Amino acid sequence: MKWKRDIVEDPYISLTLVLLVIIGAASFYVHSYVGLGIFLLMILYFRVHQWYLLKVGEGINIGRTMKRIRMHCDEEQKWEFQLQNKGMSIWGATLKITFKDIVIPTVHPYTSGVGDTIEVSIPFSIRKNDEGSISIPVIGKRRGLCKITNMQLEIPHLFGSGKVLLNLLENVPSTIIVFPVDSPVKMAEQQITWRQGDVPIQHSLFHDVFHQIGTREYVQGDRFQDVHWKATARTGSLQTKVYAPATQKEWMIAINISDRYAITNQLEEIIKYASFMMKLAVEHNITFSLVLNVRSQGRTPYYYLPPGIGRAHRQRGMELLSTLSTDEFTIPFHIVLKHLHLRQLVPSVLIIAGVMGTREEALLTNIEKQKIQIYKLKLELKQGVVTLWNRSQKVPS
């Protein structure tokens, strides 16, 4: 592991060496063997002193195992780091760790720095060829991804005549994700969708072929693969399988985090409402996907969470929302909508959030023609409201 080494010596060391040389020369001149012996011992001490400052701290390594801690605001966790020492023993050192104030230490003292950063100081000692761990109890303060921005090990000299500063040049793989807080959203009642699916309802043009509820007499026009041969043999007349009526119920939450040439100032509110909608989808067993117009290096040029269901899927969506910041590189939202439309990724229900321009409005009109219900997340009186897009809809009470 690469460290940048800086040696800070006592400012009186150089002056002391000069005085020792003068005393040694004088002792040699007057044939004072006692003074000359003291001079040689002091020179030996300074040589050992310099050697110690050059060698101490070599062989210190931070564990390279990837570890990501997930937590909520006001939740307390322990942030741990594994260390190894393959060099000299270290006593009375101080480990200083700098990170953003997304989490706050609850036990160790810390100081506030520039740009929402804090520095925590931890006493540190470790023997040669020993392994240990540093544990920092922290509490979640706000949404975000917390990384170590700087790690410095300050090792004092054994006799207090200098110190060594080791600054880590590599990234520490351990990170903390603090999930956003949910804010309730008023949802407009959704209509029956016009797509094949597996969600049971009372009336639908489509049926769930994996959910048979009975049989009926065969009529002309029934599909051959729907004939129930066992019932036909039992009754002596052709019988057709009857399936439960079903439809598709899937949400796509598409968020435009940009506003002209900057990040929208409503980013935090939108994230809280999107988090609540994903929670709502999990509670009602609704499949959902998430789209963000943030540049990505994956299969799609933007952040795209494919359709899924359940708590594990919501956690992946929460991680995407947690990592968003005002420093993101975005792409125009109309390009995202066009890409989704051309690849036929838009499900039966599309929920959009953020600023919509004329290009986005035109694309949404074309998407709506494909029998897709489009809803818009609006912020009214500091509350989230989801209503049908481009239509007058009464706010649910």
* Domain at 125, CATH number: 2.60.40.10
**Whether residue 299 sits in one domain with residue 381:** yes
pTM over 0.85: no
Q: Is residue 80 part of a domain?
A: yes
Tell which wins on pLDDT, 57 or 49. Answer: 57
Nearest to 52 by CA among 44, 63, 64, 61: 44
Q: Is 270 found in the same domain as 377? A: yes
240 within 8 A of 229, measured Cβ to Cβ: no
Judge contact between 100 and 146, C-beta under 8 A.
Answer: yes
- pLDDT level of residue 394 (50, 70, 90 thresholds): very low
Does residue 368 belong to any structural domain of this protein?
A: yes
Does one domain contain both 232 and 300? no
Any residues with CB less than 8 A from the CB of 142 and at least 6 apart, and which?
73, 101, 102, 178
Burial 27-44 (b: 16+ CB within 10 A, else e): beeeeeeeebeebeebee
Higher pLDDT, 166 or 394: 166
Q: What is the pLDDT of residue 11?
A: 58
* β-bridge pairing 239-247 and 302-308: unpaired
User: Quick check: 103 pLDDT over 90?
Assistant: yes
- Ramachandran assignment for 133, one of left (phi > 0), alpha (psi -120 to 50 degrees), beta (any other): beta
DSSP string, 191-259: PPPSS--SEE-SS-S-EEEEEEEEEEE--TT--GGGB-HHHHHHHSS-EEEEEEEEE--EEEEEE--EE
What's the CA dihedral at 88, 5, 131, 120 to 10 degrees?
Answer: 130
- Same domain membership, residue 366 and residue 264: yes
- pLDDT of 193 higher than 60: no
pLDDT of residue 95: 92
Q: Which of 231, 247, 263 is the last residue of a domain?
A: 247
Neighbours of 177 (CB within 10 A): 21
CA distance 180 to 147: 17
Contact 165, 58 (CB under 8 A): no
Asked if the structure places residue 395 within a domain, the reply is no
293 and 343 part of one domain: yes
Classify residue 4: in a domain, yes or no.
no
DSSP structure class, residue 226: G
Q: Are residues 162 and 203 in the same domain?
A: no
Q: What is the pLDDT of residue 327?
A: 85
Other CB atoms within a 10 A radius of the CB of residue 360 amount to: 21
End-of-domain residue from the set 149, 179, 209: 179
Whether the pLDDT of residue 145 is over 70: the answer is yes
**Non-local CB neighbours of 275 within 8 Å, separated by 6+ positions:** 179, 180, 181, 182, 183, 318, 321
User: Checking DSSP bridges between strand 60-62 and strand 76-85, what pairing results, if any?
Assistant: antiparallel
**Environment class of 87 (CB within 10 Å of its CB; exposed 0-12, middle 13-18, buried 19+):** middle
**Eight-class DSSP state of 67:** -
Does residue 382 form part of some domain? yes
43, 97: one domain: no
Is the same domain home to 238 and 285?
A: no
Q: How far apart are CA 289 and CA 313, in angstroms?
A: 9
What confidence tier does 392 reach under pLDDT thresholds 50, 70, 90? very low
Q: What is the pLDDT of residues 3-12, one digit of tens each?
A: 888 877 665 5
Q: Identify whether 224 is part of a domain.
A: yes
pLDDT on residue 361: 92
pLDDT of residue 187: 83
Q: Which tokens hold the place of 341? A: 């439309």
- Mean pLDDT for 58-82 is 87
* Per-residue tokens: 10: 């006592």
Do 243 and 275 sit in the same domain of this protein?
no
> Nearest 5°: phi and psi at 201?
-140, 175
What is the model's pLDDT at position 238?
78
Q: How confident is the model at residue 22 (pLDDT cuts 50, 70, 90)?
A: low
Residue 228's domain comprises 199-247
Q: Which of 64, 53, 94 is nearest to 170 (CA)?
A: 64
H-state helical runs in the chain: 13-29, 33-55, 229-235, 267-283, 311-322, 333-342, 358-368
Q: To the nearest whole number, what is the mean pLDDT of the chain?
A: 81
| Total tally of structural domains belonging to the chain | 4
In 3-state terms, what secondary structure has residue 110?
A: strand
Q: Does an H or E element contain 105, and which?
A: strand 103-105
Are 243 and 254 part of one and the same domain? no
- 254 and 242 both lie in a single domain: no
Per the CB < 8 A criterion, the answer to whether 381 and 395 are in contact is: no
The enclosing domain of 262 has a CATH number of 3.40.50.410
Residue 26 lies in a domain: yes
Asked if residue 20 is part of any domain, the answer here is yes
Same domain, 88 and 172: yes
Residues of the chain with pLDDT > 90: what percent?
Answer: 41
